C-alpha cells in the first residue's frame, strides 16, 4: 500500500473516530478563532493499532538475536576491514536507525578511521583513495561525531584551475555524498561553499534522469541536507531503500524493521497518554485562542530522541513544550498589555497565592501550570529533582521576553535588527527548551549531568545558534504568510526597515544568517571535543532539537501553527508500517 493510500484510509478512520465531522481548514475558521483547530481531534486518544501477527516478546527476542549478529560483523570490520568498508557500515546503521545499539563499537571504528586518516595526512600512510563518495562519507561521519578533520581532504578532486574536476559531474553518488558532507562546514570554510554549489548544480541538472531510490535521496537532500535531517525521518525513507544498495545486508535490514516496529508501538502508547493529558488540560483551562497542537509537539519531541530508553524524557519534554505554547499564545494572541504584566508577575512569583493577581480566565491555567510542574518533579529520582529548577527558571525567563515583545506591540515600536534579535532569539523558546530536553533523560550516556544542565542553561554558542535558526525560520514563514504575531515586527521586517530593502532581499539575508548559524553549530560540536567532550552527548540532543526546525519550516511553512501542513508526514511517522512509507 502506498503512502498516499495509507493517508486516505487513515483520513476515513479519523472521520469515524471524530463522529463523522470533518476537521475544518484554517481558512474556514479564520473569523472564528485565531488558530485552526487540531487536525487530529481525539484520534490518538482512541486509536487502537491493528493486531500484529507477531507478539512483542517474539519481536524482542528476534531483535536480540540479530543484534548479536550485527555486533559480530562490527567487531570483525573493526579489526580487518578497510576504512571505506567501515564508514559505509556505520552510515548504514545510522540511516537505518539502529546505531544506538552499537555505540561503543561504532566509536571504536571511527577512532580507527580518524587515526588512519591522520597518518595519511602526515605522510606515514597510503592514501590512494580517489573515490569521492568514500572521501565525502568519511569526512561527514567524522565531523558528525566531533572529530577534527580538514576540508583539505577534498583537494585531490580539484583541478589546476581551482575548480572541482569536470569528470565528477557524472558521479551521482559521489556528488550526493559531497553535497551532504559539505554541509558540515564550519565558519570560514569557503572551499566547502564551492563544493555545495558544484554538487547542487550537477545534482539539479540530472535530477529528472535518476532512477529510484537515488532520485528520492537526491530530492530529499536538495530539500534538507542529510546532516540537518531528523534521524527518524531519514530512517523512514532509508528502511525502504536500503535493499537496493550495492552492499545490502539482510540482517541489518531485518533488525531495523523490528526495531522500528517496537519503537513505533511505544510512541503510540505515549501519544495516547499525552493526548488524554492534553485534552484534560486544554479543556479545563478553556483558552480557546491557544493552539491545540499536542500531536505536533510530540512529533517534534520524537525528532529529538526516538529511542525506547528516552520514553520519560519525551513525555516530560512534550508537557513542558505544551505549557510553554499555552503561555506563548496568551501573550501573542489574546491578553491585553495590562493582563500580560499581571501574568508575568504571577509567573515570577510561582506560588498559588499569586492567582489572585490574574484575570479570572487565567486562574485555571495558572494553577494547572504549577500543578503540572509539581507532577513532573515527582517523576524524577531524588538525586534528579534539582533539574526542575532549570525548567522553572526557563519558563519564567520566557515570560519576561514575551512581555517585552507585548510592550513593543502596544507601543508600536520598531526595534533595530540587532535589538530585535537580542530579544527574539530568547523568545524563540529554544534557549529555555535546551535544559528541558535533558529534563527526563536518564543519565546512562552522560547527557544529563549537573554540568550539562548548567551548560545548556547558560545559552552557549551552540544553543544560541540553534535559537537564531528557530527565529529566522519562524519569521521567514510568518513573513511569507503575512501572519506576524500581533503586529510585532519580525526579523525580516526589521531588516527591511533598517536596510531599506524589499522582502525578497531581506529573506535572502536572513537565510544567509540561518546558514551561518548552522556552521556555528558544526564548529561548536567539533571544538567541544577539545574543550569539554563530556558535554557532547547533551549537545547532540540540542542539535537534534534544531534539526526538527528544518522539517517543521520546510519551504516556508509553519507545521506547528498550521498542523495541516505536516499532517501527511505525521501520519506516516506514527501510523504507516515500513512497507508503506513510500
pLDDT of 3 reads 40
The count of other CB atoms within 10 Å of the CB of residue 528 is 21
pLDDT of 192 reads 96
pLDDT of 487 reads 67
Distance CA 416, CA 419 (A): 5
Domains of the chain (ranges; CATH) run: 54-122+129-248 (1.50.10.130), 255-575 (1.10.600.10)
Q: Per-residue pLDDT tens for 249-276? A: 999 999 999 999 999 999 999 999 999 9
Distance CA 437, CA 316 (A): 8
pLDDT of 1 reads 36
Task: Please tell me the number of Cα atoms within 13 Å of 34 on its side-chain side.
Answer: 18
Residue 577: all three cell numbers together: 508500517
Q: Quick one: which of 101, 562, 478, 548 has its CA closest to 298? A: 548
pTM of the model: 0.92
Question: 477 with 553: CB under 8 angstroms?
Answer: yes
Query: Distance between alpha carbon 112 and the CA centroid of its chain, in Å?
Result: 30
One digit per residue, the tens of pLDDT, for the chain of length 582 reads 334 433 443 443 343 333 333 332 333 222 234 789 999 999 999 999 888 888 999 999 999 999 999 999 999 998 888 999 999 999 999 999 999 999 999 999 999 999 988 887 766 455 546 799 999 999 999 999 999 999 999 999 999 999 999 999 999 999 999 999 999 999 999 999 999 999 999 999 999 999 999 999 999 999 999 999 999 999 999 999 999 988 899 999 999 999 999 999 999 999 999 999 999 999 999 999 999 999 999 999 999 999 999 999 999 999 999 999 999 999 998 999 999 999 999 999 999 999 999 999 999 999 999 999 999 999 999 999 999 999 999 999 999 999 999 999 999 999 999 999 999 999 999 999 999 999 999 987 789 999 999 999 999 999 999 999 999 999 999 888 776 555 678 999 999 999 999 999 999 999 999 999 999 999 999 998 877 788 999 999 999 999 999 999 999 999 999 999 999 999 999 998 766 554
Distance CA 155, CA 385 (A): 52
pLDDT of 247 reads 84
Question: 149 with 114: CB under 8 angstroms?
Answer: yes
Burial class (CB in 10 A: 0-12, 13-18, 19+), 555: exposed
The count of other CB atoms within 10 Å of the CB of residue 482 is 6
Distance CA 477, CA 562 (A): 11
Q: Which secondary-structure segment (H or E) carries 223?
A: helix 214-223
Amino acid at each position: 500500500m502506498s503512502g498516499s493510500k495509507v493517508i486516505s484510509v487513515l483520513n476515513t478512520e479519523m472521520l469515524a473516530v471524530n463522529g463523522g465531522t470533518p476537521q475544518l481548514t484554517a481558512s474556514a475558521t479564520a473569523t472564528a478563532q485565531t488558530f485552526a483547530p487540531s487536525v487530529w481531534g481525539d484520534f490518538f486518544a482512541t486509536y487502537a493499532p491493528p493486531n500484529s501477527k507477531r507478539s512483542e516478546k517474539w519481536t524482542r527476542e528476534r531483535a536480540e538475536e540479530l543484534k548479536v549478529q550485527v555486533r559480530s560483523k562490527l567487531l570483525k570490520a573493526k579489526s580487518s576491514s578497510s576504512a571505506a568498508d567501515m564508514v559505509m557500515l556505520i552510515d548504514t546503521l545510522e540511516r537505518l536507525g539502529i546505531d544506538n545499539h552499537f555505540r561503543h563499537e561504532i566509536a571504536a571504528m571511527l577512532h580507527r578511521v580518524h587515526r588512519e586518516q591522520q597518518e595519511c595526512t602526515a605522510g606515514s600512510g597510503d592514501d590512494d583513495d580517489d573515490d569521492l563518495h568514500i572521501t565525502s562519507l568519511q569526512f561527514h561521519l567524522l565531523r558528525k561525531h566531533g572529530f577534527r578533520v580538514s576540508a583539505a581532504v577534498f583537494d585531490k578532486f580539484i583541478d589546476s584551475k581551482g575548480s572541482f574536476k569536470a569528470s565528477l559531474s557524472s558521479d551521482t553518488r559521489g556528488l550526493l555524498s559531497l553535497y551532504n558532507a559539505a554541509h558540515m562546514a564550519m565558519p570560514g570554510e569557503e572551499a566547502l561553499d564551492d563544493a555545495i554549489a558544484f554538487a547542487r548544480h550537477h545534482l539539479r541538472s540530472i535530477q529528472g534522469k535518476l532512477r529510484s531510490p537515488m532520485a528520492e535521496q537526491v530530492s530529499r537532500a536538495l530539500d534538507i541536507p542529510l546532516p540537518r535531517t531528523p534521524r527518524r525521518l531519514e530512517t523512514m525513507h532509508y528502511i525502504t531503500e536500503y535493499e537496493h544498495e550495492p552492499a545490502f545486508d539482510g540482517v541489518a535490514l531485518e533488525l531495523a524493521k523490528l526495531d522500528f516496529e517496537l519503537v513505533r508501538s511505544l510512541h503510540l502508547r505515549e501519544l495516547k497518554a499525552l493526548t488524554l493529558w492534553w485534552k484534560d488540560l486544554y479543556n479545563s483551562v478553556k483558552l480557546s485562542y491557544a493552539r491545540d497542537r499536542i500531536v505536533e509537539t510530540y512529533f517534534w519531541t520524537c525528532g529529538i530522541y526516538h529511542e525506547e530508553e528516552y520514553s520519560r524524557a519525551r513525555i516530560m519534554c512534550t508537557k513542558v513544550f505544551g505549557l510553554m505554547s499555552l503561555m506563548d499564545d496568551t501573550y501573542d494572541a489574546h491578553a491585553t498589555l495590562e493582563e500580560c504584566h499581571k501574568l508575568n508577575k504571577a509567573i515570577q512569583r510561582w506560588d498559588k497565592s499569586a492567582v489572585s493577581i490574574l484575570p479570572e480566565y487565567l486562574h485555571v491555567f495558572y494553577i494547572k501550570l504549577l500543578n503540572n510542574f509539581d507532577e513532573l518533579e515527582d517523576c524524577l529520582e531524588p538525586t534528579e529533582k534539582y533539574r526542575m529548577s532549570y525548567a522553572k527558571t526557563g519558563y519564567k525567563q520566557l515570560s519576561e521576553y514575551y512581555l517585552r515583545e507585548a510592550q513593543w506591540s502596544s507601543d508600536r515600536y520598531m526595534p533595530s535588527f540587532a535589538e530585535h534579535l537580542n530579544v527574539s532569539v530568547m523568545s524563540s523558546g529554544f534557549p529555555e527548551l535546551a535544559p528541558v530536553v535533558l529534563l527526563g533523560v536518564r543519565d546512562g550516556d552522560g547527557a544529563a549531568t549537573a554540568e550539562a544542565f548548567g551548560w545548556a542553561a547558560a545559552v552557549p554558542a551552540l544553543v544560541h545558534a540553534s535559537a537564531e535558526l528557530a527565529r529566522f525560520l519562524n519569521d521567514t514563514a510568518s513573513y511569507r504568510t503575512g501572519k506576524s504575531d500581533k503586529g510585532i515586527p519580525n526579523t525580516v521586517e526589521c531588516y527591511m526597515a533598517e536596510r531599506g530593502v524589499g522582502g525578497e532581499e531581506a529573506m535572502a539575508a536572513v537565510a544567509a544568517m540561518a546558514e551561518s548559524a548552522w556552521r556555528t553549530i558544526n564548529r561548536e560540536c567539533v571544538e567541544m571535543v577539545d574543550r569539554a567532550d563530556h558535554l557532547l552527548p547533551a549537545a547532540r540532543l540540542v542539535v537534534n532539537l534544531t534539526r526538527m526546525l528544518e522539517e517543521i519550516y520546510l519551504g516556508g511553512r509553519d507545521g506547528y501553527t498550521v498542523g495541516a501542513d505536516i499532517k501527511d508526514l505525521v501520519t506516516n511517522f506514527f501510523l504507516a508500517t515500513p512497507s508503506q512509507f513510500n
